[in-house]
Copies of this chain bind each other. A is one copy, B any other.
Amino acid sequence: MKSDRPLILISNDDGVEARGLYHLIDCVKDLGDIVAVAPASHCSGQSSAITVDRILRVTKHNDYCGAKIYSVTGTPVDCVKLAMHAIVDRKPDLMLSGINHGSNAGNSIIYSGTMGAALEACMMGIPSIGYSFLSYESNADFSPSSPYIKEITGKVLESGLPADICLNVNIPVDNIKGIKMARAARGYWTEEYADYLDPIGRKFYMLTGHFCNLEPDCDETDIYWLNQQYVTIVPAHADMTAGDYITDLANLLGV
């Protein structure tokens, strides 16, 4: 049975069991028909990774509040690609990713599986939004994010987005004052590994570290406004070409 309602494809990087996925579905279920295709297991930090050398399987789960739920044994990008190949029967009107358990502000976007999925949909010409919540707790109270998710999703569903642009939306945990457009704060990660010795004395490492914001006082940036309790929206694109530098580099390199 065909529906006249908009089709909204949802994915995430925390996996099909993550509470954030079902919170996002709860927020937008009145706006359209929902198909969620999420990784079978946790895929944080998977960026735009694709599975090239292993097979992928799709599993149908029980519906949730009218939303169809599937899992894929791969990455967030695999989920979007395979949704289009094997699951949905028409092009989605909108793709949403998240809500992520944890921030994807600053340059975290480049590591983010949440945004990997959103950027993939964007490259397919589907308006897309990645939502992230500034708590890593699996039992976080997502409710403060609800009105903002509904508002931003509704506006994008109504107005669309410019071609090749998707949105990276980060949401504070409480006392939210409003919404700001911003650019990603520049910075880097430091003290990145914890060092261990295994029982027979061999070293191993686990990722840790913290983000050093290089521009903490700049009111153009997402992290500045998140620290002031604002929801931030960063427009993002998949094209990583630094077009402004082509001429200068041609001179520098003598080509």
Contacts and interface: CB of A to CB of B under 8 A. Distances in A.
Interface in A191-218: 192-193, 195-196, 202-207
- How many copies of this chain? 2
Given A241-B184, A245-B235, A196 B81 contact: no
A4 interface: no
23 contacts: A42-B53, A45-B50, A45-B51, A47-B77, A49-B111, A50-B111, A50-B207, A56-B206, A57-B205, A78-B207, A85-B193, A86-B195, A86-B203, A109-B240, A115-B240, A155-B252, A162-B249, A181-B255, A183-B243, A233-B253, A235-B243, A235-B246, A236-B241
Contacts of A162: 245, 248-249
Name the interface size band of chain A.
Answer: 35 or more
B49 A183 contact: no
Interface of A: 42, 44-53, 55-58, 75, 77-78, 81-82, 84-86, 107, 109-111, 115-116, 119, 123-125, 152, 155-156, 159, 161-162, 164-165, 167, 178-184, 186, 188-189, 192-193, 195-196, 202-207, 233-243, 245-250, 252-255
A152 B238 CA distance: 26
A47 B44 contact: no
Contacts of A205: 55-58, 82, 85-86
Given A50-B207, A161-B252, A237-B242, 19 more contacts: A45-B49, A49-B111, A50-B111, A56-B207, A57-B203, A58-B203, A81-B193, A86-B205, A115-B240, A124-B188, A125-B188, A155-B253, A164-B242, A183-B239, A183-B243, A184-B239, A233-B255, A235-B249, A240-B240
